[in-house]
Structure 1
Amino acid sequence: MEKEEKSKWKTVIWVLLSLLIAAYVLSSLISVMLGEVEQYGNVAVIPIKGIILTGSSDGVFSSTIADSSDIVGYIEEASETPGIAAIILEIDSPGGAPVASDEIATALQKSNKTSVALIREIGTSGAYWIASATDHIVANRMSLTGSIGVIGSYLDFSGFINDWNISYERLVGGKYKDAGTPLRSLSDDERAMFQKKIDLLHQEFKDIVMKNRKMSQSQINNIAEGEFYLGSEAKGLGLIDEIGGKDEAIRYIEENLNITAKTVRYEHKPGLIEVLSGIINQRSYYIGKGMADANIGMVR
């Protein structure tokens, strides 16, 4: 009886898996057949969602990472496509690594296409760095933007290991080689060195925004202390050009290029393995959530 039950479950699993694969193949074929229609769009929409990094976006946390290599590739592809007249960067990101942000901004400035940044929920720090490189910035009145600053803070566990009578044996070649280790406190010399690097990055950030947004030195100094601003505030400070959303971004393109805009999205399309992995991860999440909820209910 038990063997029959297991056999039934195996059959059900295989049938479901086969149906899933068949559905994926069918949708892929439909996408290929419709691909010719899709490429007639004349405005490329490129999402920048999540933390901006130079690393790969593969893995469990891929949905929270904006890979600069992918985004630069989409910008270059759109730039080389004759039918594409403009690029909209759809931004929903708190920022990320300076190099990754600069790579995207540089690719955008090399492009010969009209560009618009559309800031949705958030476009701060490195994401704003990128937005400033576009021809026009649109944000919702409640969007978060700005945050022109640099952070290098970290946790210091030296007090914790001292409390547990754990020692850190320092063996280095070069006095700064282990600067920043969480296992000992910074010396005054090391702190000054780190602050100097952070100040250099901050000045670079300020200079780029000042140039891109055509601001004066006093203007950038007043808004570049790491503070974030609502879209309604950012407009008056010169950080954005317009309050609005996708309609306003498209209208800017249509009015400036005298075209009727039709958007086409440039983004990563998941393969079969990623689809299956996502389903498994989601299933595991809900199983774990159900168990946690049940335990919480018992505690109550």
Structure 2
Amino acid sequence: MFGKMLKFLYHFVIGIFAILGVVVALAMVSAGLFIYRSMETPATPAPDLVLTATLEGPMEESAGGDPLQGLFHGSPASFGMMVDALDVASADPHIKGILLDVGRSELGFAQNEELRQALKRFRRTGRFAIAFADSFGEMDSATGAYHLATAFDEIWVQPVGLVGLTGIGIEGYFARDALSKLGISFDMRTRKDYKTAADMLTKSAMTPANRDMLESLVQDISATVLEDIVAARHIPLEKLETLVAKAPLTAEDALETHLIDGIAHSETVFEDTLSRAGSDADSMDLFDYLASHAPNVSGDQKNIALIYATGEIRRGTDGSMAPFSENTLGQAETVAAEIMDATDDENVAAIVLRVDSPGGSAVASETVRGAILRARASNIPVVVSMGNTAASGGYWIAMDANRIIAQNTTLTGSIGVLAGKPVAQELLTKLGVSWEGVSSGENALMWSPARPFTPEESTHIDTLVDAIYEQFKTRVAAARGLSPEEVEMVAQGRVWTGRQALGLHLVDGIGGLHEAWLAARETAGISRQQDVPLIPYARKDGILASLRRLFMDFRGLGFGNSHIRAWLGLMAGDASGTAHMQPINIGH
């Protein structure tokens, strides 16, 4: 026995030293890389420059503040950085134009709108903007990428490329019957018919309410996209609709119908773009340019704090479940702490909260809302800028802001409640697994996936869901100055586009971060002559906090996609997603 104890202590001590060794090694590598990067001499830019970048896949709203992520991956490019770079370049006389490869872009439609607005500001200063794509889709849809490209002066496509301007569609899969064959069902409560977040698990087909909502979203988003293309390409709407019906189109057909301006390989387009900028012009990566030209803000300068609340809204802190993932989470206590820190910062004149979230926990959403109310009570205006999605819990945290700015194609609303659990009783029986339990309270095992809710538990759940739904509606009515009847009309779990939400008084204006910044300046009483920039305000995690998350992640895999986590949460019996919007995947 004594020998076993010594062996255990030996391995325990060795394990402790091993962990300490990893921590020290990572800290030394981090310090070394920091010193190396600080000693690097930034390249001297040429007098005349063309900025270049390739947009590929989706893009996160912000780069985040995890030092381990920056250590191993460098500073990741973010959507906010791209918009910032364009605005900085707009005031730089050395920048003659921009060339972006946009063919593989998977930005959301609201991000497309915001980037289009930034490109218009850039072009208004007399600079040119060229879009290139090897192909807009390859036997698939690329309406979103083409929509973005139409904000440029010219669009070039590689030979053999296609223009997949096929329109917009939303589809869903319904797994109730498949799950039933496995012996799995879901005992869910929703408020109300349009709260369809669990339909893929509880239905075998699209409900009339869900179809009505999705058709409305498709029609409105499609109208926005087509209006933008008509204005940019000067193609009559009737002709454009005919082209959409015939797409995908070859590059030659697209050129003949004025959807694009030329056909050439990327090297040719690059050389022609440089020559347009001048004989001595050079190129520079857009994000490298921003890194070397970021505006300097003095420590005592008044500013407007930009705070991000992105991803699924969850209770707790720490920012990300996986330190190397590209997704960030709207961890409620972290976001709330940043809002309160900014409120107490004497240099902060106002706050812009960027929300891109399908929702999550109602409790977590209320935590963030409380911080916003505290800021307003301290005479710090809060303006919400909505990204691709700000629905359900995302709208909960937005509704009490001084002003809410959304894009036409933002998905918002979803004022409703969802709660319930998976039931694996039949599966357990098929597998020959018996289940028994003991408890000290009548409801102690009500969330068990081994059985459905009892009639008494069902009544209790209905009461709770009704109470949360009424609290949600009451808060919306007070924050937005609407009557209970008006709120009920726009609630019921229904998702709206930003343009629809503006007409329903759920938001106050259309635009992106630039417009939110202007609204914050106006609300704070800042004159146009005052230099009060919009500055990202975020706590930078220390190396030990990041290491702690890393070791925690070894114990349980972190999932980057908030929708995946939401469904896995439902499958695992997590009923915390009371204010969550259904995953709406819009075909680009």
Equivalent residue number for residue 458 of structure 2: 191
Equivalent residue number for residue 441 of structure 2: 174
Q: Does 1:237 align with 2:510?
A: no
Separation (CA, whole Å) in 2 of partners of 1:237 and 1:211: 15
1:175 to 1:270, Cα distance in 2 relative to 1, 3 A: closer
Number of aligned positions between the proteins: 262
Letter in 2 for 1:45: L
Q: Give how far 1:67 is off.
A: 2.0
Separation (CA, whole Å) in 1 of partners of 2:486 and 2:37: 52
Letter in 2 for 1:265: P
Q: Is the 8 A contact 2:311 2:329 kept in 1?
A: yes
Q: Give how far 1:58 is off.
A: 5.8
Give the 3-state SS of the residue equivalent to 1:108 in structure 2.
helix
- Residues 141-179 of structure 1 show CA distances to partners (whole Å, capped at 9, x for unaligned) of 111111111111321101111122222113222222211
Equivalent residue number for residue 74 of structure 1: 338
Bigger-Rg structure (1/2): 2
**What are the equivalent positions in structure 2 for 1:11-30 lying under 5 Å apart?**
21-25=31-35
Give the 3-state SS of the residue equivalent to 2:309 in structure 1.
strand
Q: Give how far 1:37 is off.
A: 2.3
1:223 to 1:175, Cα distance in 2 relative to 1, 3 A: same
1:17 to 1:97, Cα distance in 2 relative to 1, 3 A: closer
Structure 1 portions without partners, runs of 5+: 1-15, 282-300
Q: Does 1:51 align with 2:312?
A: yes
Q: Give how far 1:270 is off.
A: 4.2
Equivalent residue number for residue 114 of structure 1: 381
1:158 to 1:49, Cα distance in 2 relative to 1, 3 A: same
Equivalent residue number for residue 122 of structure 2: none
Q: Which has a greater percent of helix?
A: 1
Equivalent residue number for residue 351 of structure 2: 87
User: Sequence identity of aligned pairs in percent?
Assistant: 27
Q: Give how far 1:59 is off.
A: 5.7
Equivalent residue number for residue 264 of structure 1: 535
Separation (CA, whole Å) in 1 of partners of 2:38 and 2:484: 52
- Residues 237-292 of structure 1 show CA distances to partners (whole Å, capped at 9, x for unaligned) of 111010111121122223331334311211232444649x98xx9xxxxxxxxxxx
Letter in 1 for 2:340: E
Separation (CA, whole Å) in 1 of partners of 2:27 and 2:342: 36
Give the 3-state SS of the residue equivalent to 2:359 in structure 1.
coil
**What are the equivalent positions in structure 2 for 1:91-110 lying under 5 Å apart?**
91-110=355-374
Separation (CA, whole Å) in 2 of partners of 1:220 and 1:194: 23
Separation (CA, whole Å) in 1 of partners of 2:416 and 2:39: 47
Q: Is the 8 A contact 2:350 2:521 kept in 1?
A: no
1:55 to 1:172, Cα distance in 2 relative to 1, 3 A: same
Q: TM-score, normalised by structure 2?
A: 0.41
Equivalent residue number for residue 298 of structure 1: none
Letter in 2 for 1:193: H
Equivalent residue number for residue 485 of structure 2: 218
Equivalent residue number for residue 154 of structure 2: none
1:37 to 1:232, Cα distance in 2 relative to 1, 3 A: same
Equivalent residue number for residue 165 of structure 1: 432
The equivalent position to 1:42 in structure 2, one of 303, 320, 339, is 303
1:114 to 1:27, Cα distance in 2 relative to 1, 3 A: farther
Separation (CA, whole Å) in 2 of partners of 1:235 and 1:266: 28
1:38 to 1:154, Cα distance in 2 relative to 1, 3 A: farther
Q: Give how far 1:25 is off.
A: 4.7
Q: Is the 8 A contact 2:27 2:543 kept in 1?
A: no
Separation (CA, whole Å) in 1 of partners of 2:320 and 2:398: 27
Separation (CA, whole Å) in 1 of partners of 2:431 and 2:468: 37
Which range is displaced more, 94-103 or 136-145?
94-103
Structure 2 portions without partners, runs of 5+: 1-25, 41-294, 554-588
Q: Is the 8 A contact 1:38 1:264 kept in 2?
A: no
Letter in 2 for 1:269: K
Separation (CA, whole Å) in 2 of partners of 1:132 and 1:153: 26
Give the 3-state SS of the residue equivalent to 2:308 in structure 1.
strand
Give the 3-state SS of the residue equivalent to 2:313 in structure 1.
strand
Separation (CA, whole Å) in 2 of partners of 1:26 and 1:133: 46
Q: TM-score, normalised by structure 1?
A: 0.78
Q: Is the 8 A contact 2:302 2:349 kept in 1?
A: no
Letter in 1 for 2:334: D
Q: Does 1:125 align with 2:386?
A: no
